Amino acid sequence: MVLGLGGALFHALNHSLMKPLLFFAAGSVLHAAGTAQLSVLGGLGRAMPRTFALFCLGAVAICGAPPLNGFASELVLYVGLLRVAAADSAEGWVWASLAAPALATMGALAVAGFVKVAGIAFAGTPRSQAGLAAHDPGRAMQAPMIALGAACVLLGLLPGAAVPLLQRAVAAWDPALPVPALDALLPLGWVSAAGLLLLAAVALLGALFARGRSPGDAALTWDCGYAAPTPRMQYVDSSFSETLVGLFDWAVRSRRVPPS
């Protein structure tokens, strides 16, 4: 009970950092390109590299991938659900058995959604003049995004730093509830160690890759016979998500409008 409540509060705390970061990144795109319509964007990764990097950080965090704060909070949620499922209460077992796969499904859909946004808006080449004229915002708009991104990294590598705050929140939620130490129920030190090892491995691989490359290594990829593809040959938002929408058409009730 305590771990589940603490995990929910920790998850809410992390979402208060990840979601504003993503909203600020979307606002930067709207400010720079004058539109938020994915189908007319493209190539923003080169035009807005800082915004792209911060957007990717927020997307990775909210999808629950290590070593950021979304992974830490979802781990606490999963462990709390498993503890409830292992308890003797039949009602708790049923709810936990439904909540765990629902949480996993939402994570998978989040990955698909953010890969779509990153691929359509930031990858490829600009599809319109709005994309060609885009640029990173000024420091005043970048500073809040950098602060939120740093907080996502900090709570991902050091989730135990939030334990005292969560202890007080759980105690305030139900004063009659006995509150054991959350870090005793779920030792978070190994999360920090695993995150640091993962970052070190990524940094090492990046350094080896950069060292092994030379200017003469650059070459065109297989272009299927199109030496100079145009923006019209790129995937757009609807074609990218067509398969996923088709799988869940029974739930989303999508409406198809043929071209006129």
From first CA to last CA, the distance across the chain in angstroms is: 56
Assign 166 a pLDDT band (cuts: 50, 70, 90): confident
Q: Cα(59)–Cα(114) distance, rounded to whole angstroms?
A: 6
| Residue count (the chain) | 260
Q: Is the pLDDT of residue 14 over 60?
A: yes
Identify whether the C-beta of residue 132 lies closer than 8 Å to the C-beta of residue 140. no
Sign of the alpha-carbon dihedral angle for 251, 239, 125, 109: positive
Assign 213 a pLDDT band (cuts: 50, 70, 90): low
* Number of DSSP helices (H) and strands (E) in the chain, helices first: 13, 0
Assign 175 a pLDDT band (cuts: 50, 70, 90): confident
Measured between alpha carbons, how far is residue 115 from residues 63, 75, 223 in Å? 10, 22, 22
pTM for this entry: 0.80
Highest mean pLDDT among 74-88, 138-152, 190-204: 138-152
pLDDT for residue 225 = 66
Residue with tokens 């272009």: 223
